[in-house]
Structure 1
Amino acid sequence: MRKSLRVAGIATACAVAGAALYGTGAATADSTDTTSARHTAEPQNIGVLVGEIDDYYGAHQDADGVWRSSPDSPYAKDLARVQAKAKKDIRKAAAHGAKSDGHGVRGSAHGKKPAIVLDVDDTALLSFDYEKSTNYTYNGATWDAYVKEAKRPAVFGMPELVKYAKGKGVEVFFLTGLSETQREGAVTNLAKAGYDTKLDTTHVFTKNKAAPPAYLSHCATPAKWECTTVQFKEGTRKYIESTGYDIVGSFGDQVSDLAGGYADKTYKLPNPTYFVE
């Protein structure tokens, strides 16, 4: 899956908090040599951090015990700000036509059809219920079952953004680190969540380790998959552009979703629960 290098979000956030605080602690109690005093910093308390994450998402359980995020939460408001900027950019790109090759060279892609590319997990579909239910820890078997249930809600505002883009004549692609065996669950879920757009194999790209496409031959063969997240997504965006599209916007909740080029603009959606290299 896309989160093959995923670590528990809480542990990551605590490490970041500790790094930010490092150097502000006091010398050890038994040290009197100020020139060699060791500084310590206690990481952020996990209980406090979980509470902050709950507040950020507006966490609550519905009648079925499913964890939900609130549409008026800080998380939803942060999403709305990113989406508002993206819609302005999409409108301009659609009005003026594709004018970039994804590397900052203006005018070289004139005549190509504009497109946007979206990650799936926590960009198109929200997995907050899984995060809360597993106490922010990842397990391959439970995650696979969760994906195949196809019950995740849409990330706030993203189906509307897709509809807006399509209304401007922009093609929509999904690029996910979910495995090929999880394709059916992802596609079914996207349709159920309100993504009214093409969801065939030419518009939804999964990680097919058993039969990797030729455009990833530099890092993947049927015998050995060595693509990093960045290589996989960069290579796929490059391929999409080679078929006659100019990617005017790339959307993801991880920096690794967006790195590598082959997109005029990138849009980082908020996600404080895990990190993928």
Structure 2
Amino acid sequence: MRKSLRVAGIATACAVAGAALYGTGAATADNASARHTAEPQNIGVLVGEIDDYYGAHQDADGVWRSSPDSPYAKDLARIQAKAKKDIRKAAAHGKESGRKSGKKPAIVLDVDDTALLSFDYEKTTNYTYNNTTWDAYVKAAKRPAVFGMPELVSYAKGKGVEVFFLTGLSESQREGAVTNLAKAGYDTRLDTTHVFTKNKTDPPAYLNNCATPAKWECTTVQFKEGTRKHIESTGYDIVGSFGDQVSDLAGGYADKTYKLPNPTYFVG
């Protein structure tokens, strides 16, 4: 599965647009009947707004692309500029504190729509999700990099910061993800100690609070929190954690978090 609890379809984005109604007009455990106070955002209008945000266009091969001068790209650039300042400060501070604590600075990146852009999949499937088509898409290893992220990784490495990837992709999708990251310009170590996937058949011991070989019960937050905790236990201080979902970042074990924009789906 692409990311646990991924909500299929453009209806997700519509639900987000109407999230302000929750508690006032939505059905809840305490309010069995919804009181409709406003019409939700029209899906057709919302899709058009998402297209404009990404600067959506098709190339000669029919692949959907985002424009490098789109509002999406500009939002990314602002976040990355702030992150680079923080990384520079953390790296400079870490040279002294690291000698005392034995900790080396590191950053952790999600993969889907944090390192690699899945916009073509979303557009081609009309914002619906299917295990089979998603698996084939990941294994094709043709996704472009999210604007500016390979450069951010290179910047961090130049400051002596270690780079890790932490993704909800399955272990069977590791090869496709690693191949794609390399092709997209991520010039950093991509071995099993630097790229963490969901291994549900043989989960690592550090996830024993929610996963065993017999049963996987980790939520997205538990999986990512537990893995960041493990990374820090191996001698690193995670100075920055990057993700396109709040669930990528929740749970601690990072000095700072950076939420990248993604209006195309929601992962709880």
TM-score (norm 1): 0.89
Change (3 A) 1:19 1:252: closer
Q: Deviations over 1:220-250 (max 9, x none)?
A: 0011000000000000000000000000000
Q: Secondary structure at the match of 2:197?
A: strand
Residues 113 and 171, structure 1, Cα contact 8 Å, conserved in 2: yes
Residues 22 and 39, structure 1, Cα contact 8 Å, conserved in 2: no
Over alpha carbons, which structure has the higher Rg? 1
Q: Secondary structure at the match of 1:130?
A: helix
- The alignment status of 1:230 with 2:221, answered yes or no, reads yes
Change (3 A) 1:19 1:190: closer
Residues 27 and 39, structure 1, Cα contact 8 Å, conserved in 2: no
Residues 210 and 218, structure 2, Cα contact 8 Å, conserved in 1: yes
Change (3 A) 1:127 1:110: same
Structure 1: gaps of 5 or more residues: 98-106
Q: Distance in 1 between matches of 2:78 and 2:142?
A: 26
Give the C-alpha shift of residue 40 in structure 1.
Answer: 3.2
Change (3 A) 1:90 1:35: closer
Structure 2: gaps of 5 or more residues: none
Change (3 A) 1:150 1:37: closer
- The alignment status of 1:158 with 2:155, answered yes or no, reads no
Q: Distance in 1 between matches of 2:249 and 2:28?
A: 43
Residues 76 and 261, structure 2, Cα contact 8 Å, conserved in 1: yes
Q: Distance in 2 between matches of 1:226 and 1:245?
A: 27
Change (3 A) 1:26 1:122: closer
2:59 maps to 62
Give the C-alpha shift of residue 23 in structure 1.
Answer: 10
Change (3 A) 1:248 1:64: same
Change (3 A) 1:148 1:56: same
Q: Distance in 2 between matches of 1:243 and 1:231?
A: 18
Residues 26 and 36, structure 2, Cα contact 8 Å, conserved in 1: yes
Residues 94 and 169, structure 1, Cα contact 8 Å, conserved in 2: yes
- The alignment status of 1:178 with 2:200, answered yes or no, reads no
Q: Distance in 2 between matches of 1:155 and 1:76?
A: 9
TM-score (norm 2): 0.92
Residues 151 and 189, structure 1, Cα contact 8 Å, conserved in 2: yes
Change (3 A) 1:189 1:223: same
Change (3 A) 1:276 1:39: closer
Q: Distance in 1 between matches of 2:51 and 2:107?
A: 31
Give the C-alpha shift of residue 11 in structure 1.
Answer: 1.1
Q: Distance in 2 between matches of 1:227 and 1:24?
A: 32
Q: Distance in 1 between matches of 2:61 and 2:161?
A: 38
Percent identical residues = 93
Give the C-alpha shift of residue 10 in structure 1.
Answer: 2.4
Residues 27 and 33, structure 2, Cα contact 8 Å, conserved in 1: no
Give the C-alpha shift of residue 4 in structure 1.
Answer: 2.6
Change (3 A) 1:201 1:35: closer
Give the C-alpha shift of residue 124 in structure 1.
Answer: 0.1
- The alignment status of 1:25 with 2:16, answered yes or no, reads no
Give the C-alpha shift of residue 76 in structure 1.
Answer: 0.2
Q: Distance in 2 between matches of 1:144 and 1:117?
A: 23
Give the C-alpha shift of residue 108 in structure 1.
Answer: 12
Cα-Cα RMSD: 3.7
1:8 maps to 8
Q: Secondary structure at the match of 2:90?
A: helix
Residues 2 and 134, structure 2, Cα contact 8 Å, conserved in 1: no
Q: Distance in 2 between matches of 1:38 and 1:198?
A: 53
Q: Secondary structure at the match of 1:108?
A: helix
Residues 211 and 221, structure 1, Cα contact 8 Å, conserved in 2: yes
Q: Secondary structure at the match of 1:8?
A: coil
Q: Secondary structure at the match of 1:262?
A: coil
Change (3 A) 1:26 1:132: closer
Residues 176 and 206, structure 1, Cα contact 8 Å, conserved in 2: yes
Residues 139 and 177, structure 2, Cα contact 8 Å, conserved in 1: yes
Q: Distance in 2 between matches of 1:237 and 1:28?
A: 34
Change (3 A) 1:91 1:8: same
**How many residues end up aligned between the 2 structures?**
265
Q: Distance in 2 between matches of 1:195 and 1:87?
A: 16
Q: Secondary structure at the match of 2:3?
A: coil
Q: Deviations over 1:58-101 (max 9, x none)?
A: 0000000000000000000000011000000000000011xxxx
Q: Distance in 2 between matches of 1:28 and 1:68?
A: 39
Higher alpha-carbon deviation: 187-196 or 18-27: 18-27
Q: Secondary structure at the match of 1:34?
A: coil
Q: Distance in 1 between matches of 2:87 and 2:78?
A: 14
Residues 9 and 129, structure 2, Cα contact 8 Å, conserved in 1: no
